[in-house]
Amino acid sequence: MQPIKQLSHINDKLTHYYSQLAWQAMLAEVNLTPKPGLVDKHNTGAHKDMALTDFHLSANAIATHFPRFLQAGAQHKNCPVEQLLPHIRPIGMDCERSMFHATKGVNTHKGSIFSLGLALTAIGRLIAQQQCVSPENISLLVASMCKGITSELKQKTENPTAGHRLYQKHGLTGARGEAEGGYSLVIKHSLPYYLQQLAKGKLADIALLDTLILLMSLNDDTNIVNRGGIKSLTWIKQRAKQLLTAGINTHDDLVKVKHFDSECIQLNVSPGGSADLLILTWFFARLPNQSFI
């Protein structure tokens, strides 16, 4: 039996396909309306420093770097997986610079740069190794790439980030924990739920909004805790569960979501971490091997 041939690069067609898919995922999330506490077509949510246009400009700027993540994953296909992160950090930093330049200093997509960058790198490696590009395989690779990154939050530092403070006070691991866990909330919960809603025949925007509410009910979102404390997180999760129980099935149900949005704005809380996970959910749902495209 001959060994499987491995590639050192990805062809332009595949690079363009996955880069475009990641870009479309960012736009699908921000254009979804209404969204509790988040920027959408109706309002800027709990954010007074950003608008819908900022997210569009940011997505366009960031997407120009996506091919580099894919190519890095392919180029370093033989690199021990736990040593991959240093190879893509410079790309992530370039993404952030492009984002801040496009938005004049507003942080619109830092979380998505991290999560999509990891996913695209994993896809590049899988393609180069002639393996199946599936959400499960991406999850396993990302978890291996990020093994141990939450331990950095335990270290004392002179200038602790919000992530450091929230971990040391509440034990929340945030985006690092999601990555180290291979985005288990997406793989085990939001992705199958979203595909199920679509299979039931729900309209695309209703299914995606319903999935966002599911994520809000489950996710220990550090964006919320950073703004409103642990009590706000508890309240958000309870309200999201109530909304799921009531049901979001048609456009007539959007009045419930708009009310939830008003409450989030009043409390100045925004589920940005759940929005990042929704982007991954949309992206994973449209990988070629999925039942719904």
Over 50: is that where the pLDDT of 3 sits?
Answer: no
What pLDDT digit, counting tens, does each position of 96-138 carry?
999 999 999 999 999 999 999 999 999 999 999 999 999 999 9
pLDDT of residue 8: 60
- pLDDT band at residue 6 using 50, 70 and 90 as cut-offs: low
* Contact criterion met (CB below 8 Å) for 60 and 109: no
Q: Are 284 and 292 in contact (CB under 8 A)?
A: no
Output the pLDDT for position 68: 98
Assign 262 a pLDDT band (cuts: 50, 70, 90).
very high
Q: What is the pLDDT of residues 198-236, one digit of tens each?
A: 999 999 999 999 999 999 999 999 999 998 899 999 999
Length of the chain, please? Answer: 293
Residue 157, C-beta contacts closer than 8 angstroms, at least 6 positions apart? 164
What 9-14 contacts at long range (C-beta under 8 Å, 24+ apart), as own/partner pairs, is: 9/71, 9/74, 9/75, 9/128, 10/70, 10/71, 10/74, 10/124, 10/127, 10/128, 14/70, 14/127
With left for phi above 0 and alpha for psi between -120 and 50, is residue 124 left, alpha or beta?
A: alpha
Residue 279 has pLDDT above 50, yes or no: yes
Q: In the chain, what percentage of residues exceed pLDDT 70?
A: 96
Q: What is the pTM of this model?
A: 0.93
CA distance to 90, 101, 168, 237, 250, per residue, from 214 (Å): 34, 33, 27, 9, 16
**Are 147 and 180 within 8 A, CB to CB?**
yes
